[in-house]
């Protein structure tokens, strides 16, 4: 008696889509190169303008950004889509008028802000206040608003950061428990400058407490 081969119904895992910045930048933080023309695939100005149009506006409400979304959507705006919308908008601001990539894998936000603190472009106290204002927010909208000012300063000193990591941090900010973890990670990375500059680290510029 002949048998009919059964077709497996198991789903093959689909690899996650590469976010916009990762489509342009390689794992080493350099522009990808078009394999045909050998020309760097830097972000076009019109793309960056479209991304910036999402600043201060809810995810899903800006048609110019729809083509850049990679997060799954099933009839509703998810925390992941909100986080991607925010990260795309901030990246558009950060990359504006920059010749080198402002997305660099492995550069934690806290590390980037530590570099900003030491840059001497802005006063250390002013940077501390901006960082503290960001980490003390509880809503995602307030966090992204505060990050907008910090990203503008990072752009001024040409300091890149890891936008894949930032997206995940913004997504985690939706939930009280994971929000605490993000605060801790940012704070630990930001405070690494204390020992190097000899500042008394007994008081935290993020919390004002020891």
Q: What is the pLDDT along the chain (210 residues), one digit of tens a residue?
A: 555 555 555 555 555 689 999 999 999 999 999 888 888 999 999 999 999 999 999 999 999 999 999 998 888 999 999 999 999 999 999 999 999 999 999 999 999 999 999 999 999 999 999 999 999 999 999 999 999 999 999 999 999 999 999 999 999 999 999 999 999 999 999 987 555 554 444 444 454 443
b/e 82-100 (16+ beta carbons within 10 angstroms → b):
bbbbbbbbbbbbbbbeeee
Per the structure, how many domains does the chain have?
1
CATH number of domain containing 160: 1.10.520.40
Phi, psi angle pair for 161, to nearest 5°: -150, 170
Q: Identify the residue whose tokens are 């990375």.
A: 189
In a domain, 152, yes or no: yes
| Structural domain for 161, as ranges | 29-196
In a domain, 210, yes or no: no
Q: Please tell me the total number of residues recorded for the chain in this structure.
A: 210
The pLDDT, as a whole number, for residue 80 is 96
In a domain, 37, yes or no: yes
In a domain, 6, yes or no: no
The pLDDT, as a whole number, for residue 203 is 44
In a domain, 79, yes or no: yes
The pLDDT, as a whole number, for residue 1 is 52
Q: How many helices (H) and strands (E) does the chain have?
A: 10, 0
CA atoms within 13 A on the CB side of 149: 14
The pLDDT, as a whole number, for residue 4 is 54
Q: Report d(CA 147, CA 90) in Å as an integer.
A: 8
Q: Report d(CA 199, CA 195) in Å as an integer.
A: 7
In a domain, 68, yes or no: yes
pTM: 0.85
In a domain, 22, yes or no: no
The pLDDT, as a whole number, for residue 188 is 92
In a domain, 70, yes or no: yes
Torsion of Cα atoms, 57 then 186 then 117 then 162, to 10°: -60
The pLDDT, as a whole number, for residue 187 is 93
């Amino acid at each position: 008696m002949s048998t009919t081969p059964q077709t497996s119904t198991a789903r093959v895992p689909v690899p996650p889509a590469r976010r916009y910045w990762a489509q342009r930048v390689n794992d080493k933080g350099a522009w990808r190169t078009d394999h045909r023309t050998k020309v760097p695939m830097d972000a076009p100005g019109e793309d960056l303008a479209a991304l910036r149009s999402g600043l201060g506006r809810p995810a899903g409400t800006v048609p110019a950004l729809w083509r850049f979304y990679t997060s799954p959507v099933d009839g509703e705006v998810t925390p992941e889509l909100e986080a991607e919308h925010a990260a795309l908008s901030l990246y558009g601001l950060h990359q504006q008028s920059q010749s080198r990539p402002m997305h660099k894998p492995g550069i934690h936000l806290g590390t980037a802000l530590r570099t900003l603190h030491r840059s001497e472009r802005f006063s250390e106290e002013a940077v501390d206040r901006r960082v503290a204002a960001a980490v003390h927010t509880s809503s995602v909208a307030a966090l992204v608003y505060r990050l907008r000012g910090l990203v503008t300063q990072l752009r001024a000193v040409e300091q890149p950061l890891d936008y894949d990591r930032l997206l995940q941090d913004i997504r985690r900010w939706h939930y009280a428990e994971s929000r605490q973890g993000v605060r801790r990670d940012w704070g630990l990375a930001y405070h690494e400058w204390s020992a190097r500059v000899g500042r008394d680290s007994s008081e935290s510029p993020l919390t004002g407490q020891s």
